[in-house]
Amino acid sequence: MARSDPRGFLNQLSTHCILDEFQRVPELSSYIQTIVDEPGNQNKFVLTGSNGLLLVDSITQTLAGRTELFHLHPLAVSEIIKHNPGFTLNEFLFHGGYPRIYNSQLNPTKWLKNYFQLYVEKDIRLLTNITKIDLFEKFVKLAAGRVGQLINASSLSNEVGVSSPTISEWISALNSTYICFTLSPHFNNYNKRIVKTPKLYFHDTGLLCYLLGINSMDQLDTHPLRGNIFENFVVSEYLKKLNNSGTEVNLYFWRDQKGHEVDLIEDRSTFLFPIEIKSSETFHSSFIANILYLNKLQGDEVLPAEIKGSLIYSGINESVFKDIQLSNWLSFFGA
């Protein structure tokens, strides 16, 4: 009915309504425009969809200036812990943040398997002309194995058996469907040559664990990519923290070609706030060496007087060391 009789469809709705999977009938946006433009109109529409690119494209042409965009992430640690106060780090990593898993007390691996298959069969086909689904699935799992690393389209191309432009197109599809996001390098080079390739992260660590073949929490303790999974967890939680509070997201990483790297950078306009991420429970001064190196390049004149960076790790020792705040991941995100 939304397609065949859009006016009749909208006229039967109540004053306020939610239209899910809106990108499937984008032509509705022009009819909604006539409703919201009526003098004295108070009608509110919430337009949602799992395909961010198509959703935004369908509304910006006719509803520009009449809309506000929200990025709805999986549940954050601060939301999950209210109902699961005893959750361990491994439980957060393994379960991820999709609400259905918690609402129905589902097995994460089984649900995420079905979710991923539905995603490939439904959402991805709307974006890309994929003829060999098995190659795309292979690509996503290989991308999971490179989480937190610089994107190398050429390497992925060779392993998957498709062209580099196809890999770039598929990465873009993962971004627009909120499976993955890319973290760009910060280009303030301080007279040093810097890396300009982005990194790839997943919005949900539960899905990441499924793609890596992790089917029990115990496997996380000794998994070779545990550090990368924890880094993904912290970066995605930091992204949620900013988006959910309505704060402008200015997150990057910093890396020069001499091997100095800071995992996460928040650009605070007048200075860069560096954040290092370590899954270790024991603090070592070497953890903040690259923060101190970057801050030396920035110069004392631009840095704040007190806290000049942060380390987010698994330890319980929370203190300030050389003006760097040491924070346990749960106390940092759980409030």
Cα–Cα distance measured from residue 182 to residue 196, given in angstroms and rounded to the nearest whole number: 12
pLDDT at 190 (0 to 100): 64
Q: Which residue has the tokens 């425009």?
A: 33
Cα–Cα distance measured from residue 126 to residue 301, given in angstroms and rounded to the nearest whole number: 51
pLDDT at 76 (0 to 100): 97
The model's pTM is: 0.91
Cα–Cα distance measured from residue 107 to residue 76, given in angstroms and rounded to the nearest whole number: 19
pLDDT at 136 (0 to 100): 93
Nearest one of 88, 25, 86 to 59, comparing CA atoms: 25
Where exactly are the structural domains of the chain? 6-63, 77-243, 255-333
Residues 6+ apart with CB under 8 A from 307: 320, 323, 324, 325
pLDDT digits (tens, 9 = 90+) for 233-277: 999 999 999 999 988 899 999 998 888 999 999 999 899 999 999
Number of C-beta neighbours around residue 230 at 10 A? 24
Q: For the chain, what is the mean pLDDT? A: 91
Residues of the chain with pLDDT under 50: none
Asked if 98 and 115 touch (Cβ cutoff 8 Å), the reply is: yes
Torsion angle, alpha carbons of 47, 53, 57, 60, to 10:
60
- Fold for the domain defined by 77-243: Arc Repressor Mutant, subunit A (1.10.10)
